[in-house]
A and B are shown apart, each in its own frame.
Chain A
Amino acid sequence: MIRAIALGIAVCVIGCGASAADSLRSGLGLAARGVASADQLAAPAYSDAHDQALRESVTMDAYRDRMRAWDSLVTALRAAKFALLGAESVIDAGDESEWFPAGACVALALSRLREVARAVDLRLPATIDQAIDAMEGLGGVVCPDPS
């Protein structure tokens, strides 16, 4: 249903003078801004968590345990960044059949980011929630397994 609406809107966009690719690029650009903002919020929070973990730990293993959730956040932010860059490359390549799977990969990466951010009580920019909702709304499309 949503997929059909999205395709319909994309067609309308073309008819209205803007390209579907530009519209998708806008979505990726907004999501990228959300990830960049999340990074700016997360970096000082990571540093604070590190200071506390360093004070409270007597071994490297204990320190690593305390930082595990924050390290997952680093991984999730990095994955979101490369999912967005990958989706942009897919649009650049021009094969429209790949656009929805690329969007599903972005949604997956942003969902994971939201999940790990909650684990460390970090509030993400609303743009990320909006992008996840929009891309998850492309129901039935899955991110291809690279293996």
Chain B
Amino acid sequence: MSRSELTARAIAYLAELIALALRGDRDAIARVESILPPDERLAIEREQQASREEAAEKFGT
């Protein structure tokens, strides 16, 4: 991607963020910690643990 394309995309993204802020869209500025709780594992982390336990059972390790 060229620098000018990158510039255009960055500006478009920032403009979108500003529009959300100006609309006072509180949902759009939900806190990261409410979307990705720090003390809660990701779904893929839970899958990984379950998969490893199953593999350990199969291979006897």
A24: B residues at CB distance < 8 A = 17
Please determine whether B22 and A16 come into contact, CB atoms closer than 8 angstroms: yes
Please determine whether A23 and B18 come into contact, CB atoms closer than 8 angstroms: yes
A50: B residues at CB distance < 8 A = 47, 51, 54-55
Bound-complex Cα distance A81 to B35 (A):
10
B27 CB → nearest A CB, Å: 9
Bound-complex Cα distance A1 to B6 (A):
11
Nearest residue in A to B61 (C-beta to C-beta)? Answer: A60
- Given known pairs A40-B43, A78-B45, A137-B9, the reply for A32 and B51 (CB within 8 Å) is no
A84 CB → nearest B CB, Å: 5
Query: What's the interface size class on B, roughly?
Result: 35 or more
Q: Which of A16, A29, A136 contacts B6 (CB 8 A)?
A: A136
Please determine whether A43 and B29 come into contact, CB atoms closer than 8 angstroms: no
A20 CB → nearest B CB, Å: 9
Which residues of A pack against B, CB within 8 Å? 1-2, 5-6, 9, 12-13, 16-19, 22-30, 32-33, 35-36, 39-40, 42-44, 46-47, 50, 54, 59-60, 63, 67, 70-71, 73-74, 77-78, 81-82, 84-85, 87-88, 130-131, 133-134, 136-138
Knowing that A26-B21, A47-B47, A74-B45 are A-B contacts, what are 10 other residue pairs whose CB atoms are under 8 Å apart, sorted by A's residue number? Answer: A16-B22, A18-B24, A26-B17, A27-B17, A50-B54, A82-B38, A85-B32, A130-B13, A133-B10, A134-B10
Chosen A-B contacts, 18 in total, with CB atoms closer than 8 Å, are A2-B10, A5-B10, A5-B11, A9-B14, A13-B21, A26-B17, A26-B21, A32-B30, A36-B36, A42-B44, A50-B54, A54-B54, A60-B61, A70-B48, A74-B48, A77-B44, A84-B36, A88-B31
Which residues of B pack against A, CB within 8 Å? 1, 6-7, 9-11, 13-15, 17-18, 20-22, 24-25, 28-33, 35-36, 38, 42-48, 51, 54-56, 58-59, 61
